[in-house]
Structure formats: C-alpha cells, structure tokens
Amino acid sequence: MVDRSSPPGGPQRPPLSAASLVLRLGGIAVVVAALAGAFAYVHGSFDPQRLTPKALVDVLEKNNGVHPGFRRNHAKGVCVIGHFESSGEARSYSVAQVFNEPRTPVVGRFALPAGSPYAPDSAVPIRSLALRFTQANGQQWRTGMNSMPVFPVGTPEAFYQLQQAQSPDPATGKPDPTKVPAFFASHPEAVPFLTWIKTAKPSASYATETYNSVNAFYLVDASGKKQAVRWSMTPLAQDAAGATAPEGSDFLEKDLVQRLAEGPLRFQLNITLANADDPVNDASKTWPAGRKMLNAGTLVLEKTQPQLSGECRDINYDPLVLPAGIQGSDDPLLAARSAGYADSYLRRTSEVSQLPTGKKEARP
C-alpha cells in the first residue's frame, strides 16, 4: 500500500522499532474497535459462547468510556453532502440503480476511528468514510469504509478477545501491557494488518485517503449471476499523497471545510473483482494484486454539515442496508457489524432525552 503520509519526494520516517510497535499495539484497540464497530450476529448470539451485541458494545464502552448521545465508535466526525456519478462500467455486473442511473444523491460522514468525540485527530493512523446512496426507487446502499487495506482478525470472537486484551485491569486502571502482544502472537492471521500498521501514520486530511470496504460483497446482474467484489474510494486530489498530520485536536474538519470552500472533492469508486479461489468470508485476508478492477464512477462531495445537526447524524451506516443488485457475503463480520451498529444506535438515541438542557442535539 502506498504511504500517503508524506509529500512526494519528501523525507520518509523509518519503520517503527520493535519496542515502538509494542507500544502502538498497546493502544491499537481504539483503532480496531472503531474500524468495524461493535460485533455480534444479527440474532444476538454466538455459539457456543453466547457473545451478544450488548457484550461487544459493553466492552467497547469499558475501554473507551461512555459519551452519552454519541456513536460508540467513530464518535468524532463531520457530515458531507454530495452525489455519485456512474461511469456505467458496473452495469453489466449489477442491476443496482446506483450503477445504472447518471446521478445518485449521497449523505456521508468522515470520521476519526476512536471511541471518544474529543480524541485528538493525530491519535490514530486511520480515517473512515461512511456513505448512504439513495436511489430513485427509494432503495439505499450504505457502506462504511476505512483507510486500511485489511482487518486484523477474521471473526467477531477474535475481535472480542482483542478488546478484552485492551480492557483496564481493575487493580491498576490500565491495560496489562503483555496481553495485546500475546493476543497477536496467537493470531497469525493478523500478520498483514501488523505489517501495514508498522508504517501507518495519521494523515493531515480526510481528502487524501483511500477508503476500503475491507469486507467482500456480491454484485448481482439481471440473470442473478453473482460476482464477489471489494471496493475502495480513491481520491482524485492532486495532493493525494497527503502530508504528515500536525499535532493538535481538530485539524481534519478544518482542512475539509477549507478544501470544499475551494470546490468539490472527487473520489473514484474502484470495484475489484475476485477470482473464483479468492477468500470472500475473511476480511483478514487480502486478494492478490492484478485482479480486474472497474472504475464504477465518481463520488462528488460538495459541502460539509456539522455532525450534531447535519443529515448524517441520525443515519446508522449499517453495511447490510443494500439495494437490489448488491448482496452481502458470508463474512461473519458483516452480520456482526449490522447487529452491533443497531445496538450502538439504540443506546445513543435513547440517551438524548437524558442529556442536560442545551445538549439534546447530540446523536452524531
């Protein structure tokens, strides 16, 4: 993956040392938790452990704190409004209107993958982009993407175990520093993620990141034929290599507002087609390079809105809200994300009535 954290031709930071990597892994739970959200199957339990959506969201709250009225993950963000312009290249693979009509309205949300709405923007090296496409027939496509190429683990159970490894020890109030390295040592599937995170650095802009679906889905054509895919939104900005993030708390939203004041931002929707033997049920596994890719169209972002009052505030970006022509794969993390997002949504919306006067606009 291209390092987007330094200007082209600029100085490159050396990879993290082993000691630095352990320290980063010690704090990576916030990143990983925010990436895929709280996990649990749609019907609320895992066999045989009976892992429920409540248990997953509870451990995230334990690790990140509770911020009433806010998302349990991706708590800090900004709404964006725009539209999608189809190129027509995906028409033969999917009957979804988003690929077959010239333009589809979009409500999105850039966010910092962290559990606190007050986290500094330089706290984590990942940025996220969630989108809701509303088709003319009323059907919606919702997707949550992140600026990482692969997820560290392939199952909700493993994700939960990682969160437990990050939980504070009651005796010290801090996580046991030996547990996260021990977790990764026992989960070799995490090697691609760990390889990536060694050189990942926070970027200075939402606009310069490539956002990946990570999970696999299916495009379905008019005859019912399915094609397994993953997708990404790639920036068309000239400075797409990005710059190293400055120190501070709130530079991402300021940068985005300034860029949009100068004109729309454009991202290309690239859809990668899987070969028959590529894994579609494990987000911890990458697909080999050289797979066929479609340029499905262009996302055009035109303006921002505050997350406390914008249109994205009350949207649950459930990745299994899909139109005819797009289907979820059997990746267990997809159904888990759907149930976990629902639990988080119910918690934050029910908390609004309990907030002090003057703060009832929360629910971002």
Q: For residue 53, what are the contacts with CB-CB under 8 A and spacing of at least 6?
A: 38, 40, 44, 339, 340, 342, 343
Contact 327, 217 (CB under 8 A): yes
CB 272 within 8 A of CB 295: no
Cβ(133)–Cβ(125) below 8 Å: no
Give which of 108, 323, 90, 331 is closest to 215, Cα–Cα.
331
DSSP secondary structure code for residue 123 in this structure:
S
Catalytic residue among 67, 74, 83, 187: 74
For residue 186, with 0-12 CB atoms within 10 Å meaning exposed, 13-18 middle and 19 or more buried, which class applies? Answer: exposed
Structure tokens at 154: 């392939």
Residue 4: which of 155, 196, 231 has the closest Cα?
A: 196
CA 268 to chain centre: 17
Strand residues in 192-325 grouped as ranges (E): 211-212, 217-220, 226-235, 265-273, 293-305
Structure tokens at 35: 């990436």
Residues 6+ apart with CB under 8 A from 32: 151, 152, 159, 162
How far is Cα 249 from Cα 165, in angstroms, rounded to an integer? 27
Residue 74 annotated in active site: yes
Active site residues: 74
